[in-house]
Homo-oligomer: A and B are copies of this chain.
């Protein structure tokens, strides 16, 4: 029996007979030859069907095919220097599995994004979307390998949470057997419990924000990876974030170069993501902004414009640390040298892709944390278990969260985050 070979493996079968199982992506023909572009999810290859070789009946079947016809092509793999794959197939048989009776909605031409988003289940088949999804999967694999190989234990944080970390305005509410519950915004608090049990953990799962913003950087449902480490302080946290990002970007560059080329990504920009990343204090960032005519008063957070302006000064990610405590979360430890500041760090991607990491050393003193919870008017009872982590063997600890979709957006060089996830969810967008 002739073996079924996936397109990305064809180069190992030169001059051998193989069976391809896929879909017609495009075709062109002369009277005697047809050139079928066949895709199978691992790549696209040209199958040459010659009337002289296959006879009228098979040639006629090939002629009948339209875009997205599912077909099985038997043939011999031939070396072909002109093809990006280095091979093409000389067909000996073409079988039609299913012939669409109406034209595929997404022709190989330009379509508006609103239309493409409605057809997301079919749009996924286009070579650009396939490339993005393959890069996304590889980024996930690199992230998991990075932590697994270094002794971090994956710890899945719960999705259902009983209360809100920081108010309920951006939370999605669920009917949990008649009681209100909320979808998690972050696994961090649970990750802290895990770090006290397992030393070094990472959570990696979907998180949710009910933000009423329709920008090119917002999704209501997105994946976040959050390492948390016992006995780690801010400097070590920055070392970890830096080493992590360099490994992910360089790893993906190595294994998904073809896909990034399809996406027309400027690879030289990614090659520059090497240690050391610049580390600047919030106050230094204010100076940079001021010099560029974008004065921000101390105590205000940066928006997309400010992040872009700062990132323009560097050729790689920049780490901004020691933000004003007032604009950061209650659980962050304050700088003993300047209590106005939190031991926090944000990592801003280059080229204006914005914040991709937010991290911090956590407050580990019970009394200080109790006071913080009171100051922020948070429901004390809901945090009793979290306070327990400071009652029983509290240790300095730190971690960060990386947004997967923004990282995919940056690495792929995409304008809008909605193309970074198979079925994006946004305000007003929950289908298909």
Interface set of A (CB-CB < 8 Å, partner B): 4, 6, 8, 21-24, 40-42, 68-70, 97-98, 100-102, 104, 121-122, 124-125, 129-130, 133-134, 136-137, 140-141, 144, 148, 151, 153-162, 172-177, 179, 181, 183, 190, 193-200, 205-206, 208, 210, 212, 220-221, 223, 230-231, 364, 385-386, 388-396, 421-423, 425, 427-428, 430-432
Q: Is the interface of A mostly helix, strand, loop or mixed?
A: mixed
> Which residues from B are CB-within-8-Å of A129?
197
A156 close to B98 (CB less than 8 A): no
Contact of A220 among B22, B124, B160 (CB under 8 A): B160
User: Across the two chains, which residue of chain B brings its CB closest to A42?
Assistant: B199
CA A39 to CA B111, docked complex, whole Å: 59
> Which residues from B are CB-within-8-Å of A173?
174-175
CA A174 to CA B180, docked complex, whole Å: 10
A394 close to B133 (CB less than 8 A): no
User: Across the two chains, which residue of chain B brings its CB closest to A22?
Assistant: B199
CA A69 to CA B393, docked complex, whole Å: 5
Question: In the complex, how many angstroms separate the beta carbon of A27 from the nearest chain B beta carbon?
Answer: 14
CA A177 to CA B428, docked complex, whole Å: 8
> Which residues from B are CB-within-8-Å of A100?
391-393
> Which residues from B are CB-within-8-Å of A97?
393-396
> Which residues from B are CB-within-8-Å of A151?
6, 8, 42
Whether A197 contacts B133 in the complex (CB less than 8 A), given A159-B206, A175-B173, comes out as yes
A212 close to B422 (CB less than 8 A): no
Number of copies of this protein chain within its complex: 2
Contact of A205 among B137, B205, B396, B428 (CB under 8 A): B205
A6 close to B199 (CB less than 8 A): yes
CA A101 to CA B173, docked complex, whole Å: 38
B124 close to A194 (CB less than 8 A): yes
A-B contact pairs, 19 of them (CB 8 A): A21-B395, A41-B153, A41-B197, A70-B395, A97-B394, A97-B395, A98-B390, A102-B391, A121-B388, A125-B197, A133-B194, A134-B198, A136-B154, A137-B148, A155-B422, A158-B221, A159-B159, A173-B174, A206-B206
Whether A422 contacts B6 in the complex (CB less than 8 A), given A41-B199, A42-B151, comes out as no
User: Across the two chains, which residue of chain B brings its CB closest to A384?
Assistant: B432
Whether A421 contacts B130 in the complex (CB less than 8 A), given A124-B193, A206-B206, A395-B98, comes out as no
CA A176 to CA B396, docked complex, whole Å: 38
- Top 4 A-B pairs, shortest CB-CB distance: A41-B199, A385-B432, A124-B197, A70-B393
B133 close to A198 (CB less than 8 A): yes
User: Across the two chains, which residue of chain B brings its CB closest to A4?
Assistant: B231
Whether A176 contacts B172 in the complex (CB less than 8 A), given A158-B423, A197-B130, comes out as yes
B212 close to A392 (CB less than 8 A): no
User: Across the two chains, which residue of chain B brings its CB closest to A181?
Assistant: B430
> Which residues from B are CB-within-8-Å of A155?
133, 137, 422
Contact of A172 among B101, B154, B175, B391 (CB under 8 A): B175
User: Across the two chains, which residue of chain B brings its CB closest to A422?
Assistant: B155
> Which residues from B are CB-within-8-Å of A144?
141, 144
User: Across the two chains, which residue of chain B brings its CB closest to A40?
Assistant: B199
CA A156 to CA B425, docked complex, whole Å: 12
A148 close to B141 (CB less than 8 A): yes
Question: In the complex, how many angstroms separate the beta carbon of A229 from the nearest chain B beta carbon?
Answer: 10
> Which residues from B are CB-within-8-Å of A396?
97
Can you add 14 more A-B contacts, CB < 8 Å, to A70-B395, A129-B197, A174-B183?
Answer: A23-B196, A23-B393, A41-B198, A41-B200, A68-B392, A69-B393, A97-B394, A101-B391, A134-B153, A134-B198, A137-B155, A173-B175, A177-B210, A205-B206
From A175, A177, A197, name the one whose CB has the most chain B CB atoms within 10 angstroms.
Answer: A197
Contact of A140 among B154, B231, B431 (CB under 8 A): B154
